[in-house]
Structure 1
Amino acid sequence: MYTKQALRELGVTGAEFSEEQRRSLDDNGYFVVTDVFSPEECREMAEEFDALHRKEGERGGYEVHVEPGAPRVSNLFNKTAVYDRCLEIKPLLAASHYLLGEFKLHGANLRDPLAGKGHQDLHVDVPKIFPDDWWVLNAIVTFDDMKADNGPTRIVPGSHRWHPINVPHVNQGDWEPAPLTPEEEARTPKDLAAPYPGEVHVTAPKGSVIIVNSSMWHGGTVNRSGERRRVLHLTYTRRDLPQQLLQREYLTQDLYERMNPAHRFLMDIEPLPENAAAQRSARKAGAGTDGHWWR
């Protein structure tokens, strides 16, 4: 299978990604789609977030990243089927194909900044080697209204075409930053925590999907009101690049069996290792109790 085939099997033709959205992604680095999920779907996904977090507590997000002041949960699809619907957000899939070409799931993490918490330094998620070297597309799925006072994401429109700043060490790989030009030096903030000229605090009603080029300068802001702001960060990357969460290392039999071939391809969970069938049979016979059925 290949990406375009997988997308067609999911009913994605590219028409779901409008010319206006394409221009906004190209020029501004992001666009927003509202009314993707119903209030009932948002309630169910938000309540599942709370249930998972109660179970994991301070360890939440440990597979990827634990953030003090902002509860997280990672490795979602192996823990619950509630978020499976998010794997079929057609504008997101079409935009990922447009930006990345052959792509796959990168990560899926829940986040909820607490009252008085959630501020992040300005950063980009991934490096790049040349100006339009795109690595990751990020979708922020809102389960609650994202308001001006409950910790909205701040972005700098157009900054996806600038040089990378403050790239997380874990994402750098063998990338080495190039020397900055005088223009880039002048553009780089001395205080990454401070507001940046021209930054936008993105607001959106629950059920929206905010689709962002991960090379854009961005960061979380403080939840001043204390109102809930639960979201899913769903990311896709090029197929030649590593996943944030290596899905095959956490793969459960339940996840594999409830995914169709197109989903399995886009999650990069097949073809399975040669010994998978034997381990699967052993698990069905009662061997193994950790939920992972082929590693």
Structure 2
Amino acid sequence: MYTRQALRALGVGPDTLTEAQRKQFDELGFFIVENVLTHSQCQVMRDEFERIHAVENEGGGHEVHVEPGARRISNIFNKTEVFDACLWIPEILAASAYLLGEIKVHGANVRDPVKGYGHQDLHVDVPKKFDDDWWVVNSMIMFDDMTLDNGPTRVVPGSHRWAPINVPYVNIGDWEPAPLSPEDEARVPVDLSAPYPGEVLVEAPAGSAIICNSSMWHAGTLKKTDNPRRMLHLTYTRRDLPQQLLQLDYLTKELYDRMSPEKRYLMEIEPPKSGDGILRQPKKDHKGWWN
């Protein structure tokens, strides 16, 4: 199995992304697709988030990260099948493969910031070792509208081409920062929490997906209302990089059984086979030099 084969089986191909979407992704570092979920799907997913969070409460998200000031749940696909449709949104899969090549699920966390919280310093999610060393595609799948009042994400268009800043320690891996060029140094703000020239506050309706290169400078903003802003942060990464949540560590029989071979491959939930790790041709009887 390989990515192109898996995506083909899921109906994802070269024409899934429009030329305009690829151009925005290349030049801006993000694009928005509306109506990836129906209104009824959004309602079911909102209800399921509330059900699970009522059980987990302040421990919600503990498998990855408990966040003061936000309601979270993680390891969602082993807890319920309700969010499965988010995994196979064609534009997210196509954008991830377009940017990264061979892909797998990286992480999936549903998050709703609390009023008075949510403001973040500018950051990138992952480092890069050279200019087009892309590690992760992050998609924000909206179950509620994202408005200017309920903590919209702020992004700096085109900044995925700049040097990485403020990389979360947990995502650094074996990366070591290189000295900044004078041009990059001039771009880094003194105050990472302040508005940045040219930043955009992203608004998006429920049912839409904001698909981002995770090397783009971005941050959360203050949530000013009590209105929920529930969204799924779904990330795909390269197959040579580790998952945020190692799916095999949490794998349930129910999840495994409801996934096709292609979906198991993309989730990386096939138990490892015995062997020495060296790729070999399948064994067959050898009868002579011509066989």
Q: Same fold (TM over 0.5)?
A: yes
Following TM superposition, the consecutive aligned residue runs of length 4 or more in structure 1 with deviations greater than 3 angstroms are 271-274
* Secondary structure of 2:236 counterpart: strand
Q: Which whole-Å CA distance do the structure 1 matches of 2:109 and 2:273 have between them?
A: 26
Note the residue ranges of structure 2 that are not aligned, 5 or more in a row. Answer: 275-291
Residue matched to 1:211: 211
1:194-273 residue pairs with structure 2 within 5 A?
A: 194-272=194-272
Residue matched to 1:179: 179
Q: Which whole-Å CA distance do the structure 1 matches of 2:197 and 2:226 have between them?
A: 26
1:65-80 residue pairs with structure 2 within 5 A?
A: 65-80=65-80
Residue matched to 1:63: 63
Residue matched to 2:189: 189
Supply the AA of the counterpart residue of 1:156.
V
Q: Give % identity.
A: 65
Supply the AA of the counterpart residue of 2:217.
W
1:150-189 residue pairs with structure 2 within 5 A?
A: 150-189=150-189
Q: Give CA-to-partner distance per residue, 1:189-211, whole Å, 9 cap, x none.
A: 11111111111010011000100
Q: Which whole-Å CA distance do the structure 2 matches of 1:224 and 1:110 have between them?
A: 20
Contact kept, 8 Å, 2:248 with 2:271, in 1: the verdict is no
Q: Which whole-Å CA distance do the structure 1 matches of 2:236 and 2:208 have between them?
A: 18
Q: Which whole-Å CA distance do the structure 2 matches of 1:122 and 1:95 have between them?
A: 23
Q: Which whole-Å CA distance do the structure 2 matches of 1:36 and 1:10 have between them?
A: 15
Following superposition, the deviation at residue 273 of structure 1 comes to 5.2
Residue matched to 2:117: 117
> Given the two structures, how large is their TM-score scaled by the length of structure 1?
0.91
Residue matched to 2:286: none
Q: Give CA-to-partner distance per residue, 1:124-151, whole Å, 9 cap, x none.
A: 0000001111000011000001001101
Contact kept, 8 Å, 1:138 with 1:212, in 2: the verdict is yes
Contact kept, 8 Å, 1:116 with 1:226, in 2: the verdict is no
Residue matched to 2:278: none
Supply the AA of the counterpart residue of 2:259.
M
> Given the two structures, how large is their TM-score scaled by the length of structure 2?
0.92
Which deviates further from its counterpart, 178-187 or 264-273? 264-273
Following superposition, the deviation at residue 185 of structure 1 comes to 1.4
Residue matched to 1:291: none
Following superposition, the deviation at residue 272 of structure 1 comes to 4.0
Residue matched to 2:94: 94
Whose radius of gyration is greater, 1 or 2? 2
Aligned residue-pair number: 274
Residue matched to 1:4: 4
Following superposition, the deviation at residue 271 of structure 1 comes to 4.1
Contact kept, 8 Å, 2:106 with 2:236, in 1: the verdict is yes
Contact kept, 8 Å, 1:147 with 1:203, in 2: the verdict is yes
Contact kept, 8 Å, 1:37 with 1:207, in 2: the verdict is yes
Residue matched to 1:147: 147
Q: Which whole-Å CA distance do the structure 1 matches of 2:273 and 2:79 have between them?
A: 22
Q: Give CA-to-partner distance per residue, 1:159-183, whole Å, 9 cap, x none.
A: 0000000100000011100001122
Q: Which whole-Å CA distance do the structure 1 matches of 2:194 and 2:173 have between them?
A: 27
